Amino acid sequence: MGLMGLPMALRLLAAGYEVIVWNRSTEKCGPAVDAGARLATNPAEVAAQSDLLLMCLTNAKAVEAVLFGPSGVASAEHVPEVLIDFSSIHPETTKALAERLASETGTAWLDAPVSGGTPAAKAGTLTIMVGGRLADFDQVQPVLKHLAQNVTHMGPTGTGQMTKLVNQVISGCTMVLVAEAVNLAEEAGVDATRLAQALGGGFADSKPFQLLAPRMSARDFEDPLGAVATMQKDLVTVCDVGETVGASMPMTENALRLLNDTAKDGHADADISTVILTYKRDR
């Protein structure tokens, strides 16, 4: 029930689904409960009462705990036939967890990381890349259509996560590059608050640019699009996979360095737009 999970749950409630929610920090379930969701006391209770299980968690450690920890999903008397994991974790970790869940419960796993940030989660216009069996993917399409405008089956388990890493290479580097461009404009005396309008429709334009440039130039970090720490985590995974497969990642490595600096300055849990402050840290 975080930045992404909460608006996704609210959309399912608005579509008429019965939704049961649980979160490690119970208070975050409040808005969903107010909208009609039922609150469970643990993950096993959610699983036992559900036809389809959806997870949106911070990292692999949290995913493993929710599934296999005390009162975890795997301990439920009934576990749904299909689990959809919207979390972004390492592809190899996904494969291992999927195999373990299948062996203990028989539940099929769809890794379905999302892209688009909180605005897309609220609007139901996410991009979702899915790994897993095609039959399971077809089964959950009616649910996913309420959350996303673009859902693509990429192949077997783990390919959804691998595709998300490709997405994060482009997204993470673009976020840092937008900060660099805004900083250049400011240092050169150009009104950076007008960049989005000035470059709109041109070759440099993009959705991240239109979202981030105004926030960075205005130093508006409220209502976060996504946390610095989240992108940090994903780019660490990208670099690890790149090293494993022998792919050179110089741009990603530099973007990660700048995000690390942003986190060290106390902005790890803040909006990704705070990376603009890293360009000013030595001034």
Among residues 145, 164, 207, 233, the one annotated as catalytic is 164
CB crowding 233-246: b at 16 or more within 10 Å, else e: bbbebbbebbeeee
Chain centroid to Cα 152, Å, comes to: 16
Cβ atoms of residues 165 and 237 within 8 Å: yes
- What does the CA dihedral 179, 150, 119, 210 come to, rounded to 10 degrees? 30
φ, ψ (nearest 5 deg) of residue 69: -80, -175
Residue 264 annotated to the active site: no
As a 3-state breakdown, the chain gives helix, strand, coil percent values, each rounded to 5, of 55, 10, 30
Rounded distance, CA 264 to CA 174, Å? 21
- By annotation, the residues acting in catalysis are 164
